[in-house]
Amino acid sequence: MAAVAVTLVRRLLRSGLRPGLCGAGGRELGAAPRRAIGRVAVELDSSTGVAVMKMENLPVNSLSLDFLTEFLISLEKLENDRGCRGVILTSGAPKIFSAGLDIMEMYGKSAEHYAEFWKAVQEMWLRLYQSNMVTVAAINGSSPAGGCLMAMCCDYRIMAENPKYSIGLNETQLGIVAPFWFKDTMVNTVGNRATERSLELGLLYSPPEAHKIGLVDQLVPEEKIQSTAAAVMSQWLAIPDHARQITKSMMRKPTVDRLLAHRESDIQNFVSFITKDSIQKSLQMYMEMLKQRRG
């Protein structure tokens, strides 16, 4: 994984951003919080050891290659900071947690680009799913596809009770197929039957439906989401780190190992799938549908 991190840092430097300027958590110790990089705002409270990572890739927090690169660097800094034990993942975009993978990264690009993009998506999943820190998702907006995957990587999910929001793995609605490790993550969260139905139909659930199947752990009024996340975090942090971390690894390692064993072929599968004319056509139609829906 170290090699991937070096590649990501190189990418970020090429883009003109300077990841090394601030201390872990996006601020220098003892200095006023400041933004390390543009699309992910991180604030670490050194008195609690809890960081809030706010996704700010406006308008919809789509997971572009640049965003994923910044996200990974921010997460790694926190992971390496002994003063940080927990992360609350949330959104700074109104009404959207994350719109999932950036469709423009999967459309009309070269095979090399698709491979680089997919490696970054894999890396995001590997890092977040295996994080040693306690991770709590404060889902303050809609969270389709890759957004739902990010939330499912966390240890606990709290969603705002807003009937306009939805969450789920809706890939089949775009004419694409969720990869096996998306499927595995959902099976580990809600079980086999609910995953089978969700994935085949590309279901997006309202907050009460998501809560009913266990896709989210708790619903709260929108204004209480951050305070509830902080309260849940302190319950999880009351458990000794080493015991919790070993238990988490015991639960998640077999799933992680499955991707690690097939990482290259998973990239090749993605590239050969996404470059098919029929898939490119489906994505184009889906984007047109999104625009028409807006009127």
Q: Which residues are catalytic?
A: 101, 146, 170-171
Q: Can you tell me the distance from the alpha carbon of 26 to that of 125, in angstroms, rounded to the nearest whole number?
A: 21
Q: Can you tell me the distance from the alpha carbon of 245 to that of 190, in angstroms, rounded to the nearest whole number?
A: 21
| Two structure tokens written together for 43 | 């604030």
Q: Can you tell me the distance from the alpha carbon of 36 to that of 52, in angstroms, rounded to the nearest whole number?
A: 13
Considering beta carbons, is residue 36 or 283 the nearer one to ligand CO8? 283
How many residues touch ligand CO8 under the rule CB under 6 A: the total is 29
Q: At what angle do helices 277-294 and 263-274 cross, to 10 degrees?
A: 70
Question: Cα angle vertex 173, ends 263, 168, to 5°?
Answer: 70
Query: Does 210 engage in binding with ligand CO8 (CB under 6 A)?
Result: no
Considering beta carbons, is residue 52 or 103 the nearer one to ligand CO8? 103
| Two structure tokens written together for 116 | 């680089």
Distances (CA, A) of 50 to 45, 69, 232: 6, 22, 11
- Map the footprint of ligand CO8 across residues 141-170, applying CB under 6 A: 142, 144-146, 170
Query: Does 179 engage in binding with ligand CO8 (CB under 6 A)?
Result: yes
Query: Does 91 engage in binding with ligand CO8 (CB under 6 A)?
Result: no
Task: Choose the stretch contacting ligand CO8; rule: CB under 6 A; options: 25-33, 83-91, 93-101, 246-254.
Answer: 93-101
Task: Choose the stretch contacting ligand CO8; rule: CB under 6 A; options: 29-37, 49-57, 73-81, 285-293.
Answer: 285-293
- Map the footprint of ligand CO8 across residues 31-60, applying CB under 6 A: 59-60
Q: Is 220 helix (H, G, I), strand (E, B) or coil?
A: strand
Least distance in angstroms from the C-beta of 57 to ligand CO8: 10
Site residues for ligand CO8 per CB under 6 A: 59-60, 62, 95-96, 99-104, 142, 144-146, 170-171, 174, 176-179, 270, 273-274, 287, 290-291, 294
